[in-house]
Amino acid sequence: MKNINYDMLASELDAIKMDTLGKVGQQDADYIRSVVRKQRVCEWSGRILLMLGFIQPLLWVAGVLLLALAKILDNMEIGHNVMHGQYDWMNDKQLNSQHYEWDIACDGQSWHRVHNFEHHTYTNIIGKDRDFGYGLLRLSDDFKWRFKNVWQFFTYINLSVLFQWGVSYHELAAERVFIGKKKENREGLVSHSTLKQRFFSKGARQLIKDYAIFPLLAGPLFLWVLAGNLVANLIRNLWTSTIIFCGHFTEETQTFKQEDCVNETQGQWYYRQVLGSSNIKGSHWFHVLTGHLSCQIEHHLFPDMPSSRYQEVAPQVQAVLKKHGIDYHTGSFFKQYTSVLKRIIRYSFK
Amino acid sequence: MMTQVLNQFSKWFLHHQSFAGYIEPVMQVFKPAWRAGQFRAQVVSTAVLDGGFLSVQLKPSKQWQAHTSGQHISLTVEINGRLLTRVFTVASSAKQFKNTGLVRLLIKTNAQGRFTGLLSSALKAGLWCNISAPSGDFVFKNTHTPATFIAGGSGITPMLAMLDDYLGQTTQKVSLVYYAKATEHQCVDELSELAAQFEHFSFLLLTREQSSDITSNIKPWENPDIYCCGPAAFMQTVSDFAKTHKLNYYQEAFGLALPTLNDDSQFNVKINASAHVVSGNDVLLTQFEEKKLPVKRGCGIGICHQCQCIKKSGVVRNLKTGELSDNGEQLIQLCVSQPVSDLELQL
């Protein structure tokens, strides 16, 4: 590791955090509620427009896009951030991390366990953070090359298309609920039967909602609605997967060894969060659509800071990191995504 | 029926406990402070009274069912984006609510208080807040026996409501002994009016300096029912007295005195229905784990929010920020919370 004054780094980043958290208030509460309102409007106008496709197919297209937008807002800006506890200070029962559930196949509490704990605490530590490659892709030399890596680009495409199911199955895969030998050092927080029950219950409800209930409610327009929901889910899957891959798998993002996090200080933890993440530049609405995962570095430094503040703290964080000579990985969407694709292909081979 | 179907639909498919919860932010555009599971109330007027008391007249929405005099409600106010909740006794009678459609709260404010200190700005005439359905069983029990009311400080609030409602329904002797700091007795005009109207009612305004024995004005030989509301030690004294003299005794507890932090202090913690004791020298999560309580440990450093639980009441210090929490209901992270007072938690 470089010669960095970690204590100073920690105190400077802490100062940004405390300063910003001190400002959090009505503005942030109003912001998240306004996103929820937009989500509701998109969802219901989308669902209604899907049924008007028989008048003019373009209405159906608009419906699909609105429904996809609603799902993206729900999953990214609302769900992800609320479940991080970013808005718990509001004491609002509808917007707190203990009860929030999202419009996606993955059971919220399962995600809460794996993502908030494993991924955010042990970011990019090989062997600890299963989000690195999701156990499917080889994205660094830390993993031995296997023959299946040759076609991992197609594995990646499949994962993107079915992303909500990948997220949903994530914890069950780690716990070896269905297949594989249980790892000895892994102490599950929840029993296998609970995991299975929650997995099937949430997944089934999502399938029934999108592919049975709403199509049936549409009567003769069954197929219009069914197809619309399918495409909307697909768009959401591709978008979330793409954004999430840009957050940790650009070529610049680094991995760490388990030894690295033993007795880690706050400063070292911050350092690892920065190097393990990358940002995407964009306009305000772009950041909202990514659930502010485009500010991945800030999100990883301050996972429970309200997302409404990430755009504001980003330049401050960048300035502090620059002062300490620490790289700040950012770039346009095009640049970052190209970089991800290159990395996936690069590590397909030895 | 329709509501039940919608709620079930919301639970299964919209991932909200109720349909109202799902549409809440949209409804709020049309109806400020519209919240699932809560009643709305509009502030009609407020007045600052002696001794730092704030009198608030609220007009609850039509759905709100009248209270029984002496009961309390929880008041939820959004202050700088935070929903803060406190419990207050309704300081007006059910009769007054029937006549005017209004309820009155009499709130002892504290300029440093996290909640009451900010109330006068959050409760301006015309603004909206939320109230709960009334609850509590500190109500008038028996009109056929004499009654003595003993109030300490803001403990006068349930008495005001009860007296207004029941003096007309009884002919038995009713007396009120009201302790407060000099010049801080509330609603003396109202009490005088009641005394003029009802011969069987009398009241005494006292300070602790004038009359240090708070039971000296109880006349056990008249065998009155005792109603008491005030600070914990105050009520304990009256309760002991009533027990000794075999008098019926009813009380309402309220308030919480914040102790200065001492690392070795012990606090009582009520979790769901069970009682535990914790010390101030460690975070709650570790202590609960030692007690084999069903807590979830996540990161242990205040990041992942897995150990989070609902604190119903009491104060904790967040070790990450050094800040003291509110006394009311909110979510806390057990792994970074040090107890600072007795607590009530929901796990």
Q: A252-256, A331-335, B261-265: which has the minimum mean pLDDT? A: B261-265
User: Is A95 in contact with A39 (CB distance < 8 Å)?
Assistant: no
**Which residue of A25, A41, A101 is in closest CB contact with B80?**
A25
Q: What is the pLDDT of residue A183?
A: 63
Which residue carries 């970690």 as its tokens? Answer: A6
Q: Quickly state the pLDDT bin for B212 (edges 50, 70, 90).
A: confident
Closest residue, chain B, to A190 (C-alpha): B296
Q: A64-73, B237-246, B261-270, B287-296: which has the minimum mean pLDDT? A: B261-270
Q: How high does pLDDT run on average in chain A? A: 92
Closest residue, chain A, to B23 (C-alpha): A40
What's the pLDDT tens digit per position in A176-191? 878 776 665 555 667 8
What's the pLDDT tens digit per position in A190-238? 788 888 999 999 999 999 999 999 999 999 999 999 999 999 999 999 9
Say yes or no: A208 contacts chain B, CB-CB below 8 A: yes
Q: What is the mean pLDDT of residues B7-11?
A: 92
Contacts 24+ apart (CB under 8 A), A2-8: A2/A325, A2/A326, A4/A267, A4/A271, A4/A324, A4/A325, A4/A326, A5/A267, A5/A324, A6/A265, A6/A266, A6/A267, A6/A268, A6/A270, A6/A271, A7/A265, A7/A267, A8/A267, A8/A324
Q: What is the mean pLDDT of residues A74-89?
A: 95
Q: What is the mean pLDDT of residues A78-103?
A: 92
Q: What are the chain A neighbours of B285 within 8 Å (beta carbons)?
A: none
Q: Quickly state the pLDDT bin for B260 (edges 50, 70, 90).
A: very low
Beta bridge partners of A344: none
Distance from CA of A271 to the nearest CA of B (A): 16
Instruction: Give me B271's structure tokens.
Output: 């979790």
CA B195 vs CA A154, B167, B198, B282: distances in Å: 88, 10, 5, 54
Q: What is the pLDDT of residue B259?
A: 36
The percent of residues in chain B predicted with pLDDT above 90, rounded, is 60
pLDDT for A245 beyond 50: yes
DSSP SS3 for B42? strand
Percent of residues in chain A assigned helix, strand, coil, to nearest 5: 65, 0, 30
Q: What is the mean pLDDT of residues B319-325?
A: 80
Q: Do the chains contact at B12 and A96, CB–CB below 8 Å?
A: no
Q: What are the chain B neighbours of A211 within 8 Å (beta carbons)?
A: none
The percent of residues in chain B predicted with pLDDT above 70, rounded, is 95
Q: Do the chains contact at B321 and A18, CB–CB below 8 Å?
A: yes
- Phi-psi sector, B92: left (phi>0), alpha (psi -120 to 50), beta: beta
Q: What is the pLDDT of residue A36?
A: 97
Q: What are the chain B neighbours of A113 within 8 Å (beta carbons)?
A: 298, 306
Note the ipTM here: 0.89
Q: What is the pLDDT of residue B258?
A: 33
Q: What is the pLDDT of residue A189?
A: 64
Q: Quickly state the pLDDT bin for B160 (edges 50, 70, 90).
A: very high
Q: What is the mean pLDDT of residues A266-281?
A: 95
Q: What is the pLDDT of residue A348?
A: 94
pLDDT for B257 beyond 50: no
Distance of alpha carbon B121 from the chain centroid: 20
Q: What is the mean pLDDT of residues B29-46?
A: 95
Contacts of A51 (CB under 8 A, 6+ apart): A63, A218, A221, A224, A225
Q: Looking at this protein, which amino acid is placed at residue B304?
A: C
Q: What is the mean pLDDT of residues B144-156?
A: 94
Contacts 24+ apart (CB under 8 A), B115-119: B115/B77, B115/B79, B115/B84, B115/B86, B115/B326, B115/B327, B115/B328, B116/B54, B116/B86, B118/B79, B118/B80, B119/B54, B119/B56, B119/B77
Which residue carries 């502090």 as its tokens? Answer: A320
CA distance B92 to B217: 25
